[in-house]
Amino acid sequence: MRQSQDFIPDAVLDTLFKRLPQAVLEDRLQAAQALARIRGFRYLDDRGRARTIDLSIRPWLLTSTQLRFFSDAIRLLAGALHQVAALYRARADVRSILRVSEEQAEWLKLQPISSDGPLGVMGRMDSTASFGHSGWQRDFRMLEPNAVGVGGVHYAPVGCRIVLDVVDDLLRRALPGLRVAPTADPRQMLLGELTLVARKIGTPLRRIALIENTDYTTGTDEFGGLARYFQDIGLDAVVADPRALQLRNGRILAQGKPIDLLYRDSELGEFIEMEQKGKRLKAARAAVRQGRLVSSLIWELDQKSAWEIFTDERFARFFSPMHRRFFRSHLLWTRLLSDRQVTDSRGRSVDLLPFVRKNRAKLVIKPNSLFGGEGVVIGCETAQRVWEREIDQALRGKEDYVVQELARISRESIAHFDGGRAVVHPRSTVSGFFFTSGGVGLVGRFSGRTVVNVSQGGGLIPALWVR
Domain ranges for the chain? 333-405
For residues 365 and 394, is the Cβ–Cβ distance under 8 A? yes
pLDDT mean by block of 10 residues, the chain; 467 residues: 72 92 94 93 76 92 98 97 93 96 95 84 97 97 95 95 96 94 98 97 97 80 92 97 96 96 96 95 97 96 96 97 97 98 96 98 93 83 96 93 96 84 89 96 90 74 96
Nearest alpha carbon to residue 128 among 457, 441, 433? 433
- Nearest-CA neighbor of 438 among 228, 193, 197, 251? 193
User: How far is the C-alpha of 365 from the C-alpha of 406, rounded, in Å?
Assistant: 9
| Phi-psi map region of 195: left, alpha, beta (phi>0 left; psi -120 to 50 alpha) | alpha
The structure's pTM equals: 0.94
Distances (CA, A) of 182 to 62, 161, 162, 185, 230: 10, 7, 11, 7, 19
Q: β-pairing, 50-52 with 42-44?
A: antiparallel
- H helix runs in 233-320, sequence order: 268-276, 282-289, 306-311
Within a 10 A sphere around the Cβ of 345, how many other Cβ atoms?
12
What is the CB-side half-sphere exposure of residue 407 using CA atoms within 13 A? 33
Which pLDDT score is estimated for 420? 80
Q: Residue 2: what pLDDT?
A: 42
Closest-CA residue to 98 (of 143, 145, 141): 145
CATH number belonging to the domain at 333-405, selected among 2.30.30, 1.10.12, 3.30.1490, 1.10.1740: 3.30.1490
Cβ-count burial of 152 within 10 angstroms (0-12 exposed, 13-18 middle, 19+ buried)?
buried
CA-only gyration radius of the chain, Å: 22
User: What is the DSSP code (8-state) at residue 333?
Assistant: P
Q: What is the 3-state secondary structure (H, E, C) of 100-131?
A: CCHHHHHHHCCCCCCCCCCCCCCEEEEECCCC
Identify the pLDDT of residue 109.
93
The secondary structure of 142-204 as a DSSP string is EEEEE-SS-S-TTHHHHHHHHHHHHHHHHHHHHSTT--EEE---HHHHHHHHHHHHHHHHT--
Q: Which among 56, 183, 167 has a CA at the least distance from the CA of 440?
A: 183
Cβ atoms 209, 245 nearer than 8 A: yes
- Residues 262, 71: Cα–Cα separation, whole Å: 26
End-to-end Cα, the chain, rounded Å = 12
